[in-house]
Amino acid sequence: MSISGAQKRGGQKEVVSEVMAPGVQASCAGPKVKPWQEKSVLTVRRWVATLLGLGAAGLLVMIGCLQFGAEDIGFFEVASILGRAVQSSHPSQASSETAQVILLQVRLPRVLLGFMVGGCLAAVGVGLQALLRNPLADPYVLGISSGAALGAALAILLGIGTTIFSISTLPLFAFAGGLLSLVVVYRIAASYGRLPVHTLLLAGIILNAIFTALIMFITSIMGPNRAFGLMSWLMGTLTAPDYPALGVLAIYLLVGGLILFRQARALNLLTLGEESARSLGVEVERAKKVVFFTSALLTGAVVSVSGMIGFVGMLIPHAVRMVIGADHRLLLPASAVVGGTFLMAADTVARTIMAPAEIPVGVVTALVGGPVFVYLLMYRKGGLAV
């Protein structure tokens, strides 16, 4: 064997060891980890400490977000009201005082919705970036968001306000549009029982263009009031849901997030390439289908309740990966917590910076995410140059 061949295989061994489970990694012979490399090795202690730290920071941000609005509520008063609400079996009816009603019936559901939407977008972004092996991929690259937006546009155009159960049809139409685009993208991309990544990406781009054109057509034939409502929804808007609807959405997103998390090892190996992952025991096509369908369904559900909120699914995974590393066993949950925290803060800015008027939260995420992402790209470029 030549020296260059031995070096190449040795380099592959070190790369593979980064994505293997700690027990498997310890059983493999290899060079001892240097002290400056210890922070890149995922241990149970580091996993728990990172998530606890991020969770505590997210809780503090949530309490801070609950303070601001048309009526300011003190930090300790917010904590006190939340403490009493946790002990009550009906948190939304904990008290008739004005501050408690505002906090528990208006602000808290909206803040929780923001956390779930942001966390879901960030987690889906992590999965898609690993699946497409592109750090610039986001939840909207597959055309699911455009399909959901088209469904909502049709609902607004037809003027259908409620169903026979007095439930808003906007989320239902949006979710149906997302499912339709999911089926179309899959049928275009799937060939001979496989799911080529490049075909998947191209199919999503094509559908995005088609659906965007249809949305523009629908907007052009709408009346001014309906067109304004559609544009506001397309720019991303969070509205306070009731607690039962919030609970159903939380269960749905939690199940989807757990399915993605179970694919963490496969995602680690897929970043090395499909052939390398297959040689290491990953059922590549099955893993791609699971990640694709789960990401698409989660994106459709999120877009149906919040509209199109950009940059969260692209920026947050990229930034978190630069800080904690690319191991998806930690990257997935950490990105979800950071994404939820970020969207909570962005929505608070959206509803308070021009109070009593509100601006779409998607505008805030774009104005914040765009410059930050440019900075991250420049920072990463400088680091690579060195």
Burial code of 118-142, b = ≥16 C-beta within 10 A, e = fewer?
A: bbbbbbbbbbbbbbbeebebbbbbb
Give the model's confidence band at 60: pLDDT under 50 very low, under 70 low, under 90 confident, else very high: very high
Region 279-290: mean pLDDT is: 89
Region 291-317: mean pLDDT is: 87
Give the model's confidence band at 190: pLDDT under 50 very low, under 70 low, under 90 confident, else very high: confident
Give the model's confidence band at 349: pLDDT under 50 very low, under 70 low, under 90 confident, else very high: very high
Mean pLDDT over the full length of the chain: 79
Of these ranges, 130-134, 210-214, 373-377, the one predicted with the greatest mean pLDDT is 210-214
CATH classification code of 57-85+94-378: 1.10.3470.10
Region 281-296: mean pLDDT is: 88
Phi, psi dihedral angles at 194 (to 5 degrees)? -115, 165
Return the DSSP state at 107.
I
Region 69-91: mean pLDDT is: 75
Q: Model-level pTM?
A: 0.81
- In angstroms, the CA 51 to CA 55 distance is 6
Of these ranges, 50-59, 69-78, 283-292, the one predicted with the greatest mean pLDDT is 50-59
Q: What tokens were used for 54?
A: 């991020």
Residue with tokens 């699911």: 144
Q: Give the residue from 173, 274, 159, 130 showing the smallest Cα distance to 138.
A: 130
Q: What is the pLDDT of residue 381?
A: 54
Region 20-33: mean pLDDT is: 40
Lowest average pLDDT, out of 101-115, 131-145, 158-172, goes to 158-172
Give the model's confidence band at 378: pLDDT under 50 very low, under 70 low, under 90 confident, else very high: confident
**Please, are residues 342 and 114 in contact by the beta-carbon 8 Å criterion?**
no
- In angstroms, the CA 16 to CA 30 distance is 11
Q: Give tens-digit pLDDT for 125-147.
A: 999 888 888 777 788 777 888 88
Q: What is the pLDDT of residue 155?
A: 82
Q: What is the pLDDT of residue 319?
A: 87
pLDDT beyond 60 at 77: yes
- In angstroms, the CA 264 to CA 161 distance is 41
The domain limits of the chain are 57-85+94-378
Q: What is the pLDDT of residue 9?
A: 44
